[in-house]
Amino acid sequence: MSKENKIVLLTVALYFLLISHVWFPSIGITGLGIQQNNLSWLWVVAVCCLSFFLISTRGLKIPCFWKWGSIALACSLLPFVIIHDFAIFRSGLLLVAGYLTIWIFILALYQFDALKGEANKLILIILGAVFIQVIWGAYEIISASVINYQSGQLLIEPTPLGVFNQRNAFASFVATGIVLSFYYILSPFKEVRYTKVTYAIFFVFVFLASFTVAYTVSRAGIIGLIIGVALLIPLILSKKQFGVAIGVVLVILASVSADYISGLAGNIDKQIVHGGPRVGYYLTSVMAIFEKPILGHGLGSFEHVFLEKFAELYDAGKIPVDNDYHGNLVHPHNELLLWGIQGGLITIVSLLALVFILAKALWTRLTYFLASISLFVPILVHSMFEMPFYQSTLHLIVLGVLFVIAYKQVATLKQEESKDKEFSLKGLSSALRMASVIFFVFFLAVFTLNILSLNKAKEFVYDEQDLQTIESVYIKFGWPDTYNYFYKASLSRFGRSTGNTFFCNDYINWAEKVLEVSPRLDYYRDLALAYECIGEYERARETALRLKYYYPTHRKTQDWVNGYLGDNL
């Protein structure tokens, strides 16, 4: 094994077997407001920098899919050159930066020969990461069930969450691992004979992993698992590996067992076909897209556009009222709808074109193609029902790594690697190496300080530390509004309790500006109370009524507004 491949394997193993399992308590933020995501993005930066070193000596290789995919990606961003409101536009820049970074990350991965020559070892490393989460989830199920049994009541919902702090993210990740284990055993692009011990390990893994996925009662995870495994059946039949078919039976048995046992343990039941509040999310999003179908409402516009449109539709009686709908909704629980609201049909069609280009790059014999596509199904299905890429950067990384592994195997079979465009950058070798070091050191500092700052925010929120804790954060990369709310709202409450109107006025000045970009019910609630503190009773009443209008189906908010208007004004 070459030195390069050893370094790549070590880097991948370090992330998937260690870094990705570092757990932090959630404080209700997404994206870079989650400590684990900062670690994941730091690893992405590290891989890109490692690739720069390789490019500086060996040159840059650009595959055909990356060239055409870049064109599609650029087209998806065209509507955003029109800036309707700079503050709103700026709030959405990290979304674009994240996707562009992952696209560059895919190109960086492509430079490494290890993703072809050591593909099976890389797959085993990823499966190791999945197995760690399976064991983690099983422990959560058992410990919660024991506590509930001993207490004689449902104190803890016995749901596996793993490092993700979220059932759907856990389910889609583990479901991806199950499909990947089938892919590994089937070895679609080469003939491999595995021992009985390997098959035994495979059967145990599939059963335990399927059990934990089903136990989450995650519709997105279960549907993704079913479709992913179904896509592998033609390959199982064509290769006549009927021993692998036992794995399919185990998936079914484990899922049925988990469904039965979770019902006995008191897990919350969800009907697979029941849309729940997502019906309202999707209807509102589609209607918002129809308002500006071509160019959309602009980058960063989702929150305030959705809030206005949802309230309007509900007021007109066009939203089903049998559910407790959104609180602070930052995503419509469908990735295409999120980008459609912001960039219209141009962005939607361009992103679909990007998916088509990537799928075409994997095209080969039908059974092999379906096997390759199956690897991405659980996470992509999840992205159509929720927001995995903002809850877990690990999901984006897994998609990127698995795509490059699958593509390199397909390209080898079709002998397409010779079509890569190659560029010699030896004249820039010193500059590339220096830039990669500076780049990595800079982001190491940024993400480390951001994690430390989020830990301080956690102490302030959960451990009830004083204001000095939240004042001493280092940076607020990706969560400035949340930080300002924690800080300024706390001062405003202090002002209300002491009669100091200065702090209330400071909160009012901040909230009036930020609510135009990120309208959140917490911000509105404290704004109404701050107005009351300074004697602006009519403005307090108007703010409470606006809160009531914007969140008509959120029961806790409606109860608060009704109590506030009845008791205080």
- 556: domain CATH number? 1.25.40
Q: Is residue 429 part of a domain?
A: no
pLDDT given at position 320: 74
pLDDT given at position 328: 78
pLDDT given at position 128: 96
pLDDT given at position 195: 83
pLDDT given at position 131: 97
In whole angstroms, give the CA distance from residue 542 to residue 553: 19
Burial per residue of 184-223, b for 16 or more beta-carbon CB atoms within 10 angstroms, e otherwise: bbbbbbeeeeeeeeeeebbbebbbbbbbbbbbbbbbbbbb
490, 517, 514: which is closest to 504 by C-alpha? 490
Q: Is residue 348 part of a domain?
A: no
- What mean pLDDT is predicted for residues 500-514? 93
231 in Cβ contact with 371 (< 8 Å)? yes
Q: Is residue 546 part of a domain?
A: yes
Instruction: Indicate the burial class of 279 (C-beta count within 10 angstroms; 0-12, 13-18, 19 or more).
Output: middle
- What mean pLDDT is predicted for residues 38-50? 96
In whole angstroms, give the CA distance from residue 569 to residue 564: 7
pLDDT given at position 204: 93
CB atoms within 10 A of CB 257: 15
End-to-end CA distance of the chain: 75
Share of the chain above pLDDT 90, in %: 60
| C-alpha distance from residue 126 to each of 26, 27, 121, 279, 530 (Å) | 24, 28, 9, 35, 50
In whole angstroms, give the CA distance from residue 560 to residue 568: 11
pLDDT at 357 over 50: yes
In whole angstroms, give the CA distance from residue 360 to residue 152: 55
Of 426 and 12, the structure prediction assigns the larger pLDDT to: 12
> Token match 């607020």: residue?
476
Banded model confidence at residue 38, pLDDT cuts 50, 70, 90:
very high
Residue 408 CA, chain-centre distance (Å), reads 25
* H or E, element range at 163: none
Beta strands in 405-453 (DSSP E): 421-423
State the chain's maximal CA–CA distance in angstroms: 79
pLDDT given at position 465: 65
Banded model confidence at residue 272, pLDDT cuts 50, 70, 90:
very low
Q: What is the pLDDT of residues 206-252, one digit of tens each?
A: 999 999 999 998 889 999 999 999 999 999 988 877 778 888 888 88
- What mean pLDDT is predicted for residues 434-438? 93
pLDDT at 542 over 80: yes
223, 321, 229, 325: which is closest to 272 by C-alpha? 223
Beta strands in 408-529 (DSSP E): 421-423
Tokens coding 228: 């992913």
Report the alpha-carbon angle 481-483-464, nearest 5.
145
- Range of the structural domain that residue 507 is part of: 479-567
pLDDT given at position 239: 81
In whole angstroms, give the CA distance from residue 52 to residue 60: 9
Residue type present at position 353: A
Share of the chain above pLDDT 70, in %: 94
pLDDT given at position 147: 85
As beta bridge partners, residue 62 has: 421
- What mean pLDDT is predicted for residues 29-44? 93
Of 522 and 269, the structure prediction assigns the larger pLDDT to: 522
pLDDT at 90 over 80: yes
Average confidence score pLDDT of the chain: 89
Q: Is residue 537 part of a domain?
A: yes
Q: Is residue 561 part of a domain?
A: yes
pLDDT given at position 472: 83
- What mean pLDDT is predicted for residues 372-400? 94
pLDDT given at position 322: 59
252 in Cβ contact with 359 (< 8 Å)? no
Tokens coding 273: 């076909």
In whole angstroms, give the CA distance from residue 461 to residue 450: 16
Residue 44 CA, chain-centre distance (Å), reads 15
Q: Is residue 333 part of a domain?
A: no
Residue 29 CA, chain-centre distance (Å), reads 12
**Number of domains, the chain:** 1
In whole angstroms, give the CA distance from residue 527 to residue 507: 7
pLDDT at 264 over 70: no
Q: Is residue 484 part of a domain?
A: yes
Q: Is residue 256 part of a domain?
A: no
pLDDT given at position 530: 94
